[in-house]
Amino acid sequence: MSTATTEAPAHGARDGGDARVRSWKTPIILAVVALFSLLVFAIGAPANDVTFRLSEDGDAIVLPPLVVSAPVVGWIAALGMIALAVIAFLRTRSARKVPTWVPAVFAVLFLIAFLTWVVGSARTPNVALYGLLAGSVTLAVPLIFGSLSGILCERSGVVNIAIEGQLLFGAFAAAVAGSLSGNAFVGLFAAAVAGVLVSLVLAVFSIRYVVNQVIVGVVLNVLVSGLTGFLFSAVLTEDPERWNSPPRLPIIEIPLLSDLPVIGPILFEQTIVGYLMYVAVAVIYVELFHSRWGLRTRAVGEHPKAADTLGVNVNRVRFTNVLLAGVVAGIGGSFFTLVAVSGFGRDMTAGAGYIALAAMIFGRWNPIGAFFAALLFGFATNLSNVLSLLGTPVPDQFLRMLPYVVTVFAVAGLVGRSRAPGASGIPYIKG
Amino acid sequence: MKLELIGITKRFGSLVANDSIDLVVEPGQVHSLLGENGAGKSTLMNVLYGLYDPTEGEILVDDKPVTFKGPGDAMAAGIGMVHQHFMLVPVFTVAENVALGNEATKAGGMLDLQKTRTRIRQISDQYGFDVDPDAVVEDLPVGVQQRVEIIKALVRDAEVLILDEPTAVLTPKETDELLGIMGQLKADGKSIVFISHKLREVKAVSDVITVIRRGKVVGTADPDASTTELASLMVGRSVSLTLDKKPATPGEVTFRVRDLTVQAANGQRVVDGLSFEVAQGEILAIAGVQGNGQTELTEAIMGLQDHVTGSITLGGEELLGRSVKDVIRAGVGFVPEDRSVDGLVGTFSVADNLVLNRYDDDPFARGLSMSPAVIEKNAEEKIAEYDIRTQSASAAAGTLSGGNQQKVVMAREFSRPLELFIASQPTRGVDVGSIEFLHRRIVAERDGGTPVIIVSTELDEVLELADRIAVLYRGRLMGIVPGTASRDVLGLMMAGMAGDEALAQVHDVQGGNL
């Protein structure tokens, strides 16, 4: 019997230190990826230069294109990744935590190496970097709205699988209302209303009638897909002029700021939906973590009974949050018919709602995290589009799988542990 | 503030949980509600706190009738409650938990946590709570979490504080601290309703004791009344609180545990290097506050845990790494701590539950088919022998009371020759009458020459049954002391002091007093 066991500090050291099993997951994954990068991106690098264009010829400020040698970038990045893997290994061996910057820098290096390699191997090793990034943001807009909708629901304890349905119904309503009125803003409003309608069904069945939330969500997605598909073929295609030719939302360029190279077209040449997205991320973040509404929402999602014993009406908070989520996702849906293309197509959201759900988990139920996660997915999608045009050695189909592969890895929790709100998916019944 | 309950009745369907209960809580008084598990204490308090609507009856605050539609109304009237299962959001900080529902806000509904922190520090200093407003609740020890609950009530200016079984999760030292805090609150003029079934604590702290049995007030008692008196009032007949048992006659040591370590999914060692042995014909009690590795230890022996290293031998044979069925076949009887989840299949009949671990053996089965007649006959015998109160052998086990469910589990485990008997919380949620019976059965098994391991968080039970006592703290063995060890020694060990040191310290203190 050790006498040291009676001293409090001894326990603290034991709990924080060797009592935990060292997790070799991170160093092993990093090492495997680093070796792969060494083989493919450094040793297997194409022996030519790669050009990244940073601005268009007509821009106010013209930056010279960035020209790099593919093997040089490949070697630097691969050696950097190996160094990071070694750091992770050493930290793990001495039972310390691997700092979060290690995998972050690692990911950036991998991305640079991959991009240089894949563009360098293309028939024309020349790509517009600003276009690649701006396109990513554009593609990410509906994903971000979708994951914000998911966050609003799950933080209050309701699982929202119906994001896909909310987006699709929003897109449909925006197209029809926009066409009939000839005004894109009417379409935008109609999209929000459509999102709320889907939410209303979700809220009534999952909160009032305590039906399994995942089942209600899946059923709603199928319902919206069938309903819009039917109306599309029965009504919209009969007279597309009247029903399915909404005006597009105008792009609002912010003077001066939109002239900035690279970031100008990314941030300051957007439609109102794009700007609303930034506002929504910021507002929901601040409100969720710093307001009374946010505190109650999180409490209801973590431990509803505790909130109830303090006089918070659990189901009312959940109901309003689910409806609010409908507004957000509906606006996101309008992106498909008022911004991306002008007109509705059958099942045009094509799984964006599920990717948004993954972005929410990847972003750890945090609006800012979800924002960056969605950007990553948008980037992956856009990269596959751009690369298929450039003619890369990687088959087009594989590139199109990229966002889904990223999603699987994200949801599998390979990037740190995600922890869902404690009561997410569990209906609250008093007593 | 004076609080009065008049004729409170609460029915759930045909079940009468509270039957016209009258209760008066005077200002500056500690009023204890004493009763067995399921007597209706918690229901009554949930009615008072606005969580349930009373079917009949009236609540008076300072002689004025009030109705509480929800806990919000009760809090507004000055009633605070510390629930048995804490109502704290684990991922929130102390300040966020205290603010919830009663938030100080700045413009635009933004939280003003600074105000809440200041209030927490004030209260914390006043009562010596030592609570950091910015600590995350799930990282705090249970005793501190309880203080956060008390702060939650005090911040809302509670005049009457309801404490529902507050000592169930505390170490003896933490219990003493809590009793001290209750004294301070009382001195400040607050009234306290103290709900408990632990006679010793009730006697130590109460001004008035109201005893509840089967939903009715059966009388009030004076704190000076003897524990035997209180117990018989609680149960409704005279009970003997002390068990007559002969001294143990330990035989050969057949059960040995060496360097047993169990890791949780997150890598934490929940059982950490345990070594002990149990001889035939003795009872080893494993004491400790809930959640210090007891569950994992018993489950590791049964083969129910993953990530187990070390060695467990019974009669020279290694048990570790064998399937649960093999362990049962080796003659290990096991009463799990949560009978309704792990001990019984609630929707199965009593008869089926009595053969759950032998359904495929002779004589209960022949080839692929079971023998219902034999199972039925076995059930009739056990029901008679163990006095199991059930409508019939074919009634669903889930419909039985806690004590009778536990008898079913015990009867099943004792119905075959055992080489080792393990019981986890053998009498939790069991009425006092049945406790007596179950304890006698356990001692009888010991006298029959079986090594027995009892895991209990109730010191009374440990002291009553044990021939030797092992204390677990954070998965480690603090030492093994004789069954005659004092509460003080056990209390120190349960808080993490090694056994020999605890013995020495208690000895010194007593020596100094002489």
A413 CB neighbour count, 10 Å cutoff: 13
Chain A residues with CB-CB distance to B102 below 8 A: 310-311
By CB atoms closer than 10 A (0-12, 13-18, 19+), residue B373 is: exposed
Q: pLDDT tens-digit profile of A221-265?
A: 999 999 999 999 999 999 998 999 999 999 898 888 888 777 887
> In the predicted model, what is the mean pLDDT of chain A?
86
Q: A49 and chain B: CB distance < 8 Å anywhere?
A: no
* Yes or no, beta carbons of A305 and B87 under 8 Å apart: yes
Q: For chain B, what is the total number of helices (H) and then of strands (E)?
A: 17, 22
* Nearest CA among B224, B166, B220 for reference residue B198: B166
Find the closest chain B residue to A6 by CA distance.
Answer: B497
Q: For chain A, what is the total number of helices (H) and then of strands (E)?
A: 17, 5
Q: Are A297 and B92 in contact (CB under 8 A)?
A: no
Hey, what are A322's tokens?
């689910």
Smallest CA–CA distance, residue B151 to chain A, in Å, is 13
Q: A364 and chain B: CB distance < 8 Å anywhere?
A: no
* pLDDT score of A3: 36
Residue of A5, A286, A418 to mutate, testing the B interface (most B Cβ within 10 Å of its Cβ): A5
* Yes or no, beta carbons of B111 and A3 under 8 Å apart: no
* pLDDT score of A366: 93
* Yes or no, beta carbons of A291 and B109 under 8 Å apart: yes
Q: A429 and chain B: CB distance < 8 Å anywhere?
A: no
A39 CB neighbour count, 10 Å cutoff: 11
User: Which DSSP string do the residues of A43-62 spell out, in sequence order?
Assistant: IT--SSEEEEE-S-TTSSS-
User: Which DSSP string do the residues of B140-200 spell out, in sequence order?
Assistant: S-HHHHHHHHHHHHHHTT-SEEEEESTTTTS-HHHHHHHHHHHHHHHHTT-EEEEEES-HH
Hey, what are A421's tokens?
């709100």
Smallest CA–CA distance, residue B366 to chain A, in Å, is 42
* pLDDT score of A114: 87
* Yes or no, beta carbons of B90 and A3 under 8 Å apart: no
* Yes or no, beta carbons of B474 and A11 under 8 Å apart: yes
Smallest CA–CA distance, residue A295 to chain B, in Å, is 7
**B101 closest CB neighbour out of A15, A290, A307:** A307
Rounded to whole angstroms, the Cα distance separating B35 from B71 reads: 24
* Yes or no, beta carbons of A292 and B103 under 8 Å apart: yes
Rounded to whole angstroms, the Cα distance separating A270 from A98 reads: 39
Q: Are B74 and B48 in contact (CB under 8 A)?
A: yes
User: Helical H runs in B15-135?
Assistant: 41-48, 71-76, 94-99, 113-127
* Yes or no, beta carbons of B87 and A23 under 8 Å apart: no
pLDDT higher than threshold 60 for residue A303: yes
Q: Are A329 and A197 in contact (CB under 8 A)?
A: no
* pLDDT score of A128: 84
A123 CB neighbour count, 10 Å cutoff: 9
Residue of B83, B87, B89 to mutate, testing the A interface (most A Cβ within 10 Å of its Cβ): B89
Rounded to whole angstroms, the Cα distance separating A403 from A363 reads: 15
Rounded to whole angstroms, the Cα distance separating B162 from A269 reads: 60
pLDDT higher than threshold 70 for residue A418: no
* pLDDT score of A9: 34
* Yes or no, beta carbons of B91 and A422 under 8 Å apart: yes
Q: pLDDT tens-digit profile of A154-187?
A: 999 999 999 999 999 999 999 999 999 999 999 9
Chain A residues with CB-CB distance to B75 below 8 A: 310-311
Tell me which H or E stretch contains B339.
none
Tell me which H or E stretch contains B443.
helix B432-447
User: How wide is the angle at C-alpha B442 spanned by C-alphas B407 and B486, nearest 5°?
Assistant: 125
Rounded to whole angstroms, the Cα distance separating B151 from B129 reads: 9
Q: Which residues of B282-295 are buried (b: 16+ CB within 10 A; e: fewer)?
A: bbbbbbbbeebbbb
Q: pLDDT tens-digit profile of A32-51?
A: 989 999 998 888 888 888 88
Smallest CA–CA distance, residue B11 to chain A, in Å, is 13
Helix, strand and coil percent figures for chain B, each rounded to 5 = 35, 25, 35
CA atoms within 13 A on the CB side of A344: 36
CB-defined contacts A:B, below 8 A? 108
Find the closest chain B residue to A306 by CA distance.
Answer: B87
Q: Is the ipTM of this complex over 0.85?
A: no
* Nearest CA among B76, B236, B96, B246 for reference residue B157: B76
Smallest CA–CA distance, residue A379 to chain B, in Å, is 33
Rounded to whole angstroms, the Cα distance separating B180 from B192 reads: 13
* Yes or no, beta carbons of A311 and B71 under 8 Å apart: yes
Q: Are B22 and B60 in contact (CB under 8 A)?
A: no
Q: pLDDT tens-digit profile of A89-111?
A: 898 888 777 777 888 888 889 88
Backbone phi, then psi, for A98, in 5-degree steps?
Answer: -75, 120
Residue B363: asked if its preceding bond is cis (omega within 30°), the reply is yes
User: Which DSSP string do the residues of B312-334 spell out, in sequence order?
Assistant: EEETTEE-TTS-HHHHHHTTEEE
Chain B residues with CB-CB distance to A430 below 8 A: 51
Q: Using 70 as the pLDDT threshold, list the residues of chain B that sit under it.
A: 239-241, 510-514
**B101 closest CB neighbour out of A291, A312, A430:** A312
* Yes or no, beta carbons of B268 and A307 under 8 Å apart: no
* Yes or no, beta carbons of A310 and B499 under 8 Å apart: no
Chain B residues with CB-CB distance to A291 below 8 A: 105, 108-111
pLDDT higher than threshold 50 for residue A267: yes
Hey, what are B155's tokens?
């911040």
Q: A250 and chain B: CB distance < 8 Å anywhere?
A: no
Rounded to whole angstroms, the Cα distance separating A430 from A419 reads: 25
Tell me which H or E stretch contains B342.
none
pLDDT higher than threshold 70 for residue A410: no
CA atoms within 13 A on the CB side of A294: 20
Give the mean model confidence (pLDDT) for residues A337-365: 90
pLDDT higher than threshold 70 for residue A411: no
By CB atoms closer than 10 A (0-12, 13-18, 19+), residue B336 is: buried
Residue with tokens 């991106």: A41
Chain B residues with CB-CB distance to A11 below 8 A: 474, 496
pLDDT higher than threshold 50 for residue A7: no
pLDDT higher than threshold 90 for residue A30: no
Rounded to whole angstroms, the Cα distance separating A159 from A162 reads: 9
Give the mean model confidence (pLDDT) for residues A348-360: 91
Chain A residues with CB-CB distance to B100 below 8 A: 295-296, 299, 306-307, 310, 312
Chain A residues with CB-CB distance to B145 below 8 A: none
* Yes or no, beta carbons of B498 and A23 under 8 Å apart: no
* Yes or no, beta carbons of B71 and A309 under 8 Å apart: yes
pLDDT higher than threshold 50 for residue A136: yes
Hey, what are A59's tokens?
């821009």
How many whole angstroms from its chain centre is CA A224? 22
* Nearest CA among A391, A402, A393 for reference residue A41: A393
* Yes or no, beta carbons of B88 and A303 under 8 Å apart: yes
* Yes or no, beta carbons of A310 and B479 under 8 Å apart: no
* Yes or no, beta carbons of A422 and B100 under 8 Å apart: no
Smallest CA–CA distance, residue B428 to chain A, in Å, is 23
Hey, what are A248's tokens?
């597009």
